[in-house]
């Protein structure tokens, strides 16, 4: 894998031999499904940050597919852009609206809200200073929005990553936003008129890339975790909980997520470190790795030793090979309904029948014993999965989980940004009796949801592709 500085990656557009759009440069997380219209079914969020809007190249869009007892239908959808009535701003070339998204009921009204990052938006604070918008849920779905303004006097790519988590009213509902130069932490109460409790900026860590929120110490208040861009001579960047210089955790990563992997009531911090090690045996792992720091009454501390998972870990399918990018995308959710959060790991550079075809691995949570037992994987070569593994598909660019048909069995969503000339696609794996299944899986393409351009739509988002 490449090892670039934060400054160097900004100029990159050539990934794995395939020319991807120059913007967005990085877009880490995508939203989980949420019930935006209050009908009892969660609705899927399909970002398309490279979508052309009214002749504006790469202005970006978000497509919501409404959930129902029969699952998702591409005809039951709403496409939202900055030209949509009620949404702040206007669609402009290369804004990358939808590059990052997060879901939570911010104003506690019973409707899920969607937080959308537009990291390449030009504002009065400068070129590519970025913007973050809350689209408010209602009986009619997402129909209006307000901005979450950065308190920084100047910033770059504000909205590069977003996390949102509601554990109760007031300050127990929070939104975290990363920019190239700072992290901004919003606390509730949030209102549809755009007010919020407070906004605090943190400029005490170098170049934050990914953010996550989790209750690592069990006090019912979301805690902030972040991973930075690469440090010189190390795989990945520094990983923090409650970021501040000197609080770096043991281990590295480029993407973070949170969930209770061992079922002890404390959220655990998970980081993807897809880089090749700079120094063998010192950091990183060939082919990439995932690290897990277990939460506790004291939270996640600098003395916490993480558990490492690779494709060479017992029970994990495949084998660690140079350049796999294992850990290049990440989410944590309970897929098998056992009360333990499972770790969903993308390896978008995995070589199968074709180079960089991509693969996704699920590592089940465990209350005891080593992680890895019972792991399984999906690719386009898995029986029952539509399509076929092709060079530079990057299957596993993004991953998310949510139950869209209210049967209690969560669906798995997998994006492949390189599919079909970088128009991208999203695969939906139905929830099964014990885990998602390839049987009945389907692929959603841009054309199926009314996005007709021939190149660079990036349906599903482009994740960390231009970074790793």
Q: Which helix (H) or strand (E) holds 289?
A: strand 289-293
Residue 61 pLDDT grade (very low, low, confident, very high; cuts 50, 70, 90): very high
Selected residue with higher pLDDT from 42 and 280: 42
- What average pLDDT does the chain have? 92
Rounded distance between C-alpha atoms, residue 275 and residue 212, angstroms: 20
Q: Could you tell me which of 73, 127, 132, 75 has the C-alpha nearest to residue 100?
A: 132
Q: Is 154's pLDDT higher than 50?
A: yes
Q: Which residues of 409-419 are buried (b: 16+ CB within 10 A; e: fewer)?
A: bbbbbbbbbbb
**Helix, strand or coil, per DSSP, at residue 17:** coil
Rounded distance between C-alpha atoms, residue 371 and residue 332, angstroms: 14
Q: Which residues of 50-64 are buried (b: 16+ CB within 10 A; e: fewer)?
A: bbbbeebbbbbbbbb
State the average pLDDT over residues 346-359.
96
Q: What is the pLDDT of residues 314-329, one digit of tens each?
A: 999 999 999 999 999 9
State the average pLDDT over residues 159-178.
96
Q: Is 17's pLDDT higher than 90?
A: no
Q: C-alpha distances in angstroms, 412 versus 100, 113, 260, 274, 442?
A: 18, 20, 18, 21, 11
Q: Is 301's pLDDT higher than 80?
A: yes
Q: Which ranges constitute the DSSP H helices of 311-412?
A: none
**Counting Cβ atoms within 10 Å, is residue 281 exposed (0-12), middle (13-18) or buried (19+)?**
exposed
State the average pLDDT over residues 428-438.
96
Provide the phi-psi class of 415: left if phi over 0, else alpha when psi is between -120 and 50, else beta. beta
Q: What is the 3-state secondary structure (H, E, C) of 296-311?
A: CCCCCCCCCCCEEECC
State the average pLDDT over residues 203-230.
93
Residue 421 has phi, psi (to 5 degrees) of: 60, 40
Give residue 9's Cα distance to chain centre: 19
Residue 362 pLDDT grade (very low, low, confident, very high; cuts 50, 70, 90): very high
Q: How far apart are the first and last CA of the chain?
A: 6
Give the DSSP per-residue string, 431-461: P-SSS--STT-EEE-TGGGT---SS---BT-
State the average pLDDT over residues 330-353.
97
Look up the pTM and report it. Answer: 0.94
Selected residue with higher pLDDT from 122 and 205: 122
Contact assessment for residue 380 and residue 388, using Cβ atoms and an 8 Å cutoff: yes
Share of the chain above pLDDT 70, in %: 94
Q: Is 138's pLDDT higher than 70?
A: yes
Contact assessment for residue 118 and residue 95, using Cβ atoms and an 8 Å cutoff: yes
Contact assessment for residue 204 and residue 182, using Cβ atoms and an 8 Å cutoff: no
Contact assessment for residue 240 and residue 213, using Cβ atoms and an 8 Å cutoff: no
Contact assessment for residue 418 and residue 397, using Cβ atoms and an 8 Å cutoff: yes
Residue 27 pLDDT grade (very low, low, confident, very high; cuts 50, 70, 90): low
Q: Which helix (H) or strand (E) holds 271?
A: strand 268-273
State the average pLDDT over residues 150-172.
94
**Counting Cβ atoms within 10 Å, is residue 246 exposed (0-12), middle (13-18) or buried (19+)?**
exposed
Residue 279 pLDDT grade (very low, low, confident, very high; cuts 50, 70, 90): confident
Residue 283 pLDDT grade (very low, low, confident, very high; cuts 50, 70, 90): confident
């Amino acid at each position: 894998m490449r090892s670039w500085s934060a400054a160097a990656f900004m100029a990159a557009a050539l990934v794995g031999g395939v020319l991807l759009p120059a913007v967005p440069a990085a877009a880490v997380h995508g939203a989980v499904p949420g019930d935006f219209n209050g009908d009892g079914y969660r609705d899927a969020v399909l970002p398309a940050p490279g979508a052309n809007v009214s002749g504006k190249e790469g202005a970006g869009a978000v497509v919501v597919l409404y959930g129902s007892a029969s699952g998702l239908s591409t005809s039951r959808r709403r496409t939202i852009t900055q030209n949509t009535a009620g949404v702040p701003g206007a669609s402009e070339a290369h804004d990358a609206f939808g590059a990052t998204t997060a879901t939570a009921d911010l104003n506690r009204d019973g409707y899920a809200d969607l937080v959308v990052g537009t990291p390449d938006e030009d504002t009065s604070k400068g070129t590519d200073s970025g913007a973050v918008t809350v689209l408010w849920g209602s009986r009619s779905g997402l129909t209006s929005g307000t901005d979450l303004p950065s308190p920084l006097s100047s910033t770059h790519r504000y909205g590069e990553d977003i996390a949102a988590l509601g554990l109760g009213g007031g300050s127990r509902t929070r939104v975290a936003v990363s920019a190239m130069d700072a992290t901004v932490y919003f606390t509730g109460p949030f209102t549809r008129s755009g007010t919020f409790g407070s906004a605090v900026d943190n400029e005490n860590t170098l170049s934050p890339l990914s953010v996550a929120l989790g209750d690592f110490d069990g006090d019912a208040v979301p805690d902030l975790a972040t991973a930075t861009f690469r440090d010189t001579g190390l795989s990945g960047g520094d990983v923090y909980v409650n970021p501040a210089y000197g609080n770096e955790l043991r281990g590295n990563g480029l993407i973070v997520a949170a969930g209770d992997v061992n079922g002890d009531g404390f959220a655990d911090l998970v980081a993807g470190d897809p880089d090749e090690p700079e120094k063998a045996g010192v950091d990183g792992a060939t082919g990439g790795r995932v690290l897990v720091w277990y939460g506790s009454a004291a939270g996640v501390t600098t003395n916490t030793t993480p558990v490492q998972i690779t494709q060479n870990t017992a029970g994990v399918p495949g084998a660690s090979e140079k350049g796999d990018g294992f850990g290049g995308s990440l989410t944590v959710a309970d897929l098998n309904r056992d009360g333990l959060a499972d770790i969903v790991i993308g390896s978008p550079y995995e070589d199968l029948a074709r180079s960089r075809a991509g693969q996704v691995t699920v590592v089940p949570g465990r209350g005891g014993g080593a992680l890895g037992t019972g792991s399984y994987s999906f690719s386009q070569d898995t029986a029952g999965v539509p399509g076929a593994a092709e060079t530079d598909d990057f299957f596993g660019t993004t991953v998310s989980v949510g139950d869209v048909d209210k049967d209690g069995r969560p669906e798995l969503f997998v994006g492949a940004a390189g599919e079909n000339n970088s128009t991208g696609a999203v695969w939906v794996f139905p929830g099964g009796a014990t885990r998602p299944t390839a049987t009945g899986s389907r692929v959603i393409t841009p054309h199926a949801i009314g996005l007709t351009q021939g190149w660079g739509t990036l349906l599903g988002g482009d994740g960390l592709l231009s970074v790793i």
